Amino acid sequence: MKALVLFSGGVDSTTCLGIAVKKYGKENVIALSISYGQKHTKEIEAANAIAKYYEVEKMELDLSEMFKFSDCSLLKGSDKDIPKESYAKQLEKTNGAPVSTYVPFRNGLFIASAASVALSRKCSVIYYGAHSDDSAGNAYPDCSEVFNNAMNTAVYEGSGKQLKIEAPFVSLTKADVVKIGLELKVPYELTWSCYEGSEKPCGKCGTCIDRAKAFAANGVSDPALR
């Protein structure tokens, strides 16, 4: 059996990769990194280093054309600033809508694209690292369990029951993800989460704050900051 991992080079997808490599063996795992027009290439560089560490095949796909109509603050075409506060703070101002770093239906497109690649490459499972902190308060609705179950049904039926989605963290928190990853000795020192593309993580954007909290909850400092 072969597995395709949707792989951004961040904490969650790298932990997914660690799980997949342990379960299927490195020769049966493909890491798929998708560009969506983000402002920087730090996560792609991190993804390359981690794929090399695990000695898995890496594939790349560019979907930036799909997102060029969006003014999401993560995207190159946007002049909006990336918010420098926690998701909880951001959600106080959105009236139930997703946060400004929500890329329109990104995970829907990512999973659909991954499904096509997975079938072409004879994989029978897609791993992706959505977790419950991301969908909390509707920040990123395309990380929710309901969304995942619907996509899983679509992928399973649309592939003639050849392919399914594994989202092992969908009901877990990011702190839980890090706990699992630390046990698996995931190389977190190689990962990149920050939405800004500076030399060092900014420490102030939503994802930096979430990441710091997840490591702190496990009583360790973030290996990428050491």
Binding site for Zn ion (CB under 5 A): 194, 201-202, 205, 208
Greatest CA separation for the chain: 47
The amino acid occupying position 70 is S
> What's the rounded Cα separation, in Å, for the pair 48 and 195?
18
Residue 166 or 210: the one with the smaller Cβ distance to Zn ion is 210
Min dist. Cβ of residue 204 to Zn ion (A): 6
Determine if residue 164 is left, alpha or beta; phi over 0 gives left, psi from -120 to 50 gives alpha, anything else beta.
beta
Min dist CB 211 to Zn ion, Å, is: 8
Closer residue to Zn ion (CB): 114 or 224: 224
Nearest distance from residue 202's CB to Zn ion, in Å? Answer: 3
For residue 65, give both structure tokens. Answer: 């054309």
Shortest distance, position 196 Cβ to Zn ion, whole Å: 5
Given the complex with Zn ion, which of 81 and 145 has the nearer CB atom?
Answer: 81
The secondary structure element, H or E, covering residue 61 is strand 57-62
**Residue 168 or 201 with smaller CB distance to Zn ion:** 201
At residue 27, the 3 state secondary structure works out as helix
